[in-house]
A and B are shown apart, each in its own frame.
Chain A
Amino acid sequence: MYQYFYELTGSVIISTLITAVFPLVNVLLVALLGVYLERKVSAWMQDRVGPNRAGPFGLFQTVADFIKMLQKEDATALDIDKKLYNIAPVLVFAGSFAVYAVIPFSSKLIGSEIEVGLFYALAVSSFVVAGILMAGWSSNNKYSLLGAMRSAAQIVSYEIPTALVVLAMVMFLGTLSLSKISEMQTAYFWNWNILGGAEFGLVKFLLIPFMVVGFVIIFISTLAEVNRTPFDIPEAESELVAGYFTEYCGMKWAMFMLSEYGNMFAVSAIVSILFFGGYQSPFGYLGNTLGIEWLIPYEQAFWFILKGWFFIFVQMWLRWTLPRLRVDQLMTVCWKYLIPYAFVNLIIIGIITLL
């Protein structure tokens, strides 16, 4: 991305700034829009109107909320561990924010084009657990503690099926670079990994069912990793009040919310890169047909954002339809169903790749 903007502007400072600020702007926009969309989607599903006062269609509702958050008194409970308590929200936010650095929005718009992008994304997103544990422990609140413990167990467990599916995909694709993975699925939608990738003949058809299984597994486990219903057990409102961030208020609380919505987009992005072609358009580019080369990166960004928001919508859809699992049932789903299937899937995709 630095290169792209350097060519465009010819200024080192401007292109550095854009590259640095780009992920932050993204995560904030995603959070703002995400909160608004969650309210609207839930309202439509529940036969309500949703926010409609602040701005057209209530679009500024979340902006107003953030202004309110900023003005709030930073009240803290007694006998908390001040240091950990203050670091925790930053850490949680940093975890989800850091993923945005490697997400390729298009062939040109990537914060940092590192070769091990996929590995990096998995690593930093699990960083969030530390923050959550800190928040739960330092709050000096039993609900927070229970929530944090649940969350740690859940996120660590569900990383295993995620990692197994990612492993299978890496074996199949032979690269860890997110932009390369996207590039490999170029041209048309039948080259997407969920439809067997850019393979030909029998191998492609053999792969399709296992790719679908892989997609389902990774989608379920990423739902659990970002604590969305039916796996929102760490913050189960009706049991644990608000889980690990019960004691937080004002902007610190907002940091947790930001990171939740940031995470939602991050995992949607990774799922769409792995299985749905990343930033690739499903049916060619307008820029190619018209011969306008500079249009292509923006078209790609459009497709990428569309795919990301589609998966966010699916997550919201599930949230407002399904009840919540219990903590032991959650573990059962992971250890007894997802992990064995992910293993089998890994082996079979490996064998097919060897063919």
Chain B
Amino acid sequence: MALKTETMILNMGPQHPSTHGVLRLELEIEGELIVNVKPHLGYLHRCFEKHAEAMQYNQVVPYTDRMDYLAAMGNNFGYVLAIEKLLGIQVPERVEYIRVIMAELQRIASHCVAIGTNGADIGALTPFLYLFRDREYILSIFEETCGARMLYNYMWIGGLSHDIHPNFVRRTKEFTSYFKNTIVELDNLLSYNKIFVERTANIGILPADTAINYGATGPVLRGSGVKFDLRKDDTYSIYNRFDFDIPVGKGLQGTVGDSWDRYYVRVREMEQSLRIIEQAIDQIPEGDVQSAIPKKIKPPKGTVYTRVENPRGELGYFIISDGNTNPFRVKVRAPSFVNLEILGELCKGHLVADVIAILGSIDIVLGEVDR
């Protein structure tokens, strides 16, 4: 007679070292094998979208910082682009260049955290601290220019809150030349580490069609081998002036679309961001960064949707204006939220230890998932 067995429910989170914030995962496990995963959201819900309706257009910018708090520059960028499109403002060249450099620096800083925590979840704590050390460098560059280290409120509608600091160009150049070594070091220490590869290759395989069906974007989609990057495919700002590649997952260590591919795409993306910064930093034109900021923001009736390539994927802002000083509706398409939906699909049949490896490779920020 067969023994009667039953599955066990394991609550992972909201207080857990590696759920990257306050995500709660309800794991149905059989021994250590995952039968089902149910993410429970909402522990960090702050009503951003509703809140925005009570604010004037320019007052919404600081709130966008607090969504994806690891890539606040990118959030600002998307929002101000939407409103500028609504108002029909053309911002000065200098502003465009600074915005692109800031967004790319932010992408590197954000990927540092993503890669670092992915490694730390698997037990490699040292690369995590090396990456945080270098992220610190970027944050201090930001701090010098706009006074904040995490929530910048730097990009304003029609311009920037401050012009760049006199040291900015020099320090950014220092950083780009220095950070290349870190990437080499990271490859040696983590990317090709036998144990790390064993833990991530062939784990959580996401085929390209599933990724597209779920609406995944960013490194998660590119890890599956789909060459889709809004900076190239739906170019905004001045990205079409720069020469850079879009790294995609090739299944170098296992299958296309496994956790290792998603990880590796991020590493290579940091290199491409460095390339963009190196090209842009020498071309910053002179000018006033605040000349195009409108005195009163009262866009005409209408709707607008803009999307930008944030470190985590396609960040979209859908804004309805009813002709008042406040937006009628702000809807955010948050890449983390969309990407997180795949988790259940990816985890089935894997072990408990793989859940965190997969979650780390999806790279979510709960501030953005819940908004």
Contact = CB atoms under 8 A, between A and B. Distances in A.
B124 A322 contact: yes
Interface stretch (A235-243, A283-291, A305-313): A235-243
B230 interface: no
A238 B32 contact: no
B8 A47 contact: no
Listed residue (B16, B126, B189, B353) with the most chain A CB atoms within 10 angstroms of its CB: B353
Contact of A321 (B10, B126, B133, B352): B126
B166 interface: no
Contacts of A323: 119, 122-124, 190, 193, 195-196, 199
Listed residue (A42, A47, A143, A322) with the most chain B CB atoms within 10 angstroms of its CB: A322
A33 interface: no
A255 interface: no
A142 B16 CA distance: 13
A76 interface: no
Nearest to A239: B353
Interface residues of A, number: 29
Interface stretch (A16-24, A85-93, A325-333): A325-333
Chain B interface main SS type: helix
B142 to A, nearest CB: 21
A327 B126 CA distance: 22
Given A322-B123, A322-B124, A326-B353, A47 B130 contact: yes
Interface string B329-362: 0000000000000000000000111111000000
Interface in B114-149: 119-126, 129-130, 133
A324 interface: yes
Listed residue (A146, A237, A239, A321) with the most chain B CB atoms within 10 angstroms of its CB: A239
Contact of B123 (A47, A232, A241, A328): A232
A175 B255 CA distance: 52
Interface in A15-59: 42, 45-48
A193 interface: no
Given A241-B16, A327-B353, 11 more contacts: A42-B125, A146-B352, A238-B121, A239-B352, A239-B353, A322-B123, A323-B119, A323-B190, A324-B195, A325-B199, A328-B351
Interface of A: 42, 45-48, 142-143, 146, 150, 229-230, 232-233, 236-241, 320-329
15 contacts: A42-B126, A45-B126, A229-B123, A232-B123, A239-B18, A320-B125, A320-B126, A322-B123, A322-B124, A322-B195, A323-B199, A324-B123, A325-B198, A326-B353, A326-B354
